Chains A and B, each alone.
Chain A
Amino acid sequence: MMGGTWLSNLDPRAKLAVALAYTLVVALGQRPGPGIMALAASFALYILSRQGMGLLLRRAFSVNLFVAFLWLFLPWRLDWGGGPVWRYHPEGLALAELITYKVNAIFLMTLALLRTSRPTELIHGLAHFHLPAKLLALAMLFYRYVHVIMREYWRLRMALKVRCFKPGNNLHTYRTFAYLVGMLLVRSLDRAERIHQAMLCRGFTGTYWLLDHFRWHRRDTLFVLVSGAGLAALAVLGWRSASWS
């Protein structure tokens, strides 16, 4: 996850701020031209992050499933005037095109900027944006234990497999999955109890302390300034006209 590139050496706070501003500017953009420019910028930054094409293709596939759904339905509309008829709407096609640029630009930028920092660093970085301490503690604990519960889940699935469980369209399948989920919930609650006791042993009073701290370098200032200028240009170009041109 951590490449040795300059992107992974940037301060997570700088990357979070830029990613957030970028998402805002691109998501609200209304013109395809700046959309393509944003996509090109995201792609360039992704190349610089050196995370390989395999990751890009895997993620692009799942992200674009929703986009494919929109391509399927946006250009068509059911017309009830004189019986139901599907009518072709060219504006819908243009909208689908614009959305494709925006969705891909944003996910590529997220991949380039945020995947090059550790999730714990990012949650810590968010603490500097004055989010509620409880929310961040929730996020830290969620991230810490989601993998543990994931392993628990695969263990239960394995137990089903060795008992020759084959999912089908029947009540037995639904009951089995329901009990699997129920067991997962019971075990995670028991674990939460133990975690809480362990936290009490260590003097937990409601504040989740973050022990390591970031150092802001000149390269972070430079990165924020350059991206800020680029984003301002993109905003002016993309927001100037509100029509789907």
Chain B
Amino acid sequence: MRAKLSSLFDGLLPVIATLAALAVGAVMLLFLRANPLEAYAALWDGAFGSTNAFAETLVKATPLLLVALGICISFRGDVINIGGEGQMIVGAILATWVGLTFTSLPGWLVIVLAMLAGFLGGGIWGGIPGFLKAYFNVNEILSTVMMNAIAVQLMNFMLRGPMIDPSQAELASKIPQTARLLENFRLPRWAPTRLHLGALIAVVLAILVYILLWRTVLGYRIRAVGQNPNASRYAGINVKRYVVLALLLSGAFAGLAGAVQVYGVNYRMITDGSASGFTGSAGFNGIVAALFGQLHPIWSIPASILFGALLVGANKMQRVVQVPSALVIALNGLVVVFVVSSEIWRRRRQRRRLAAAREDDTPPEPDSDTPVKTEVHV
């Protein structure tokens, strides 16, 4: 019973941390001379107030979930992937190229090929930092950040040059965008909303990633390397290979997120010169969602919906109480800080539980269900 209550408390920690962040947000709103209750009510209404609002929330949550799934894999393997933005972009470029090139193939086939291309593109962009970490000891935080910057320029170059919409190429304005995808290449929508098949794909993949991490040898080894690389090495696991694989898979899911954005929402790529112009910062916010979901693929689903709701609701909040939606980005940051800070209480309880178990002289409970390992060394 005590153990049950205790694990319930652990599960509630992120919720408590979020409420704390929202409370800080309320103080900020007061400083901005807005009524926090009114602001949060508008935010809720904008995210869940109607069928269409909820559909928009799910549309926003989809790339977050896909990125978060990749983050679950890499963080479990003790590799930090900050490169979601770049991986999304490269995945989207490859997927878009497929759709613009194979125009005579049947729609379903192109969609399948494009999703695979997105997976591949993101995988390459994540695999490079993985390779550099495993074999050249290059810190992956830094290399993934650099890869983000390189991907943005690659996108700008492709959309201004080789992949530019032929009709734009003739105009003086030369808006950097690709041509639109053919109508039968687009992911089916649940009309009249913009909710598309990508959301369902993401949920199915969340279940598959859960199976991958806890029911396959590959997943077991990624987690083993993440928890204790030395022990894994003695157990005969090729640690370097799994470091590369963890980042590669992580990038692949982000790349898929990019492909889904193109085939489900925008139907083309367009750039304003920045990464967030295409990704909407999903590459960063996906990290937030994954952490909030305690690096568990299934828990990442509600976490992604929560952050999707915050992002969508922020627009309504901006209209109603005239507080810029950028507030929500700041709040996301606070949520991250509060959630990682609250980990200390989980660790303390865990230690107390272990100490108690030692006194009872009974073996401690198996910890395999506790999803977050206590420390990530970067």
Is B truly associated with A? no
Using a CB–CB cutoff of 8 Å, the interface residues on chain B facing chain A are none
